[in-house]
Amino acid sequence: MGKEIERKFLVRDRQFETESTEKFEIRQAYLNDCPDATVRLRVIDTKAWLTVKSRNHGAERGEWEYEIPVSDAMEMIEATGTPCLFKTRYIIPAADGLKWEVDEFHNPCAGLVVAEIELPSSDTAITHPAWIGREVTGDPAYYNSVIAAKLKT
């Protein structure tokens, strides 16, 4: 089983942009947003992935991700009528080979900026950059699937 261990934080200012080494646009849609097993499609440039994630248990959950053709992802999004979430992702190197992923949402939560860091274990110590704010790990309001669900209303 794949496992994701991730902590999530709000971002207090835009200093992260000057530390970013990569930036790209993401189109993301959910075929299923049930908390027990979300099913996500993600398109970045010329690549796409189908991802299944289990319910969160703190900072941990199961994750299975498979690369698929972009044309298949786009056809699935169109066939299901699933609205897309658009965000810009910034990559910022962290200590010990880790990296921060900062997502700036464009809809439906324009102005929301959230930082995530994937960890090798739940007890891995991390250093918080000055631009990191309040931790929101485990708060459903900041799950991408919940944010995307706002597009349906």
30 given a catalytic annotation: yes
Average pLDDT over residues 23-48: 92
pTM of the model: 0.91
CA distance 45 to 142: 25
Catalytic residue among 30, 90, 142, 143: 30
Distances (CA, A) of 148 to 1, 29, 47, 83, 93: 26, 7, 20, 8, 27
Task: Parse the chain into domains and list their residue ranges.
Answer: 3-152
Q: Over 90: is that where the pLDDT of 35 sits? A: no
Between 41 and 32, where is the model more confident? 41
For 3-152, CATH number? Answer: 2.40.320.10
Q: Over 90: is that where the pLDDT of 139 sits? A: yes
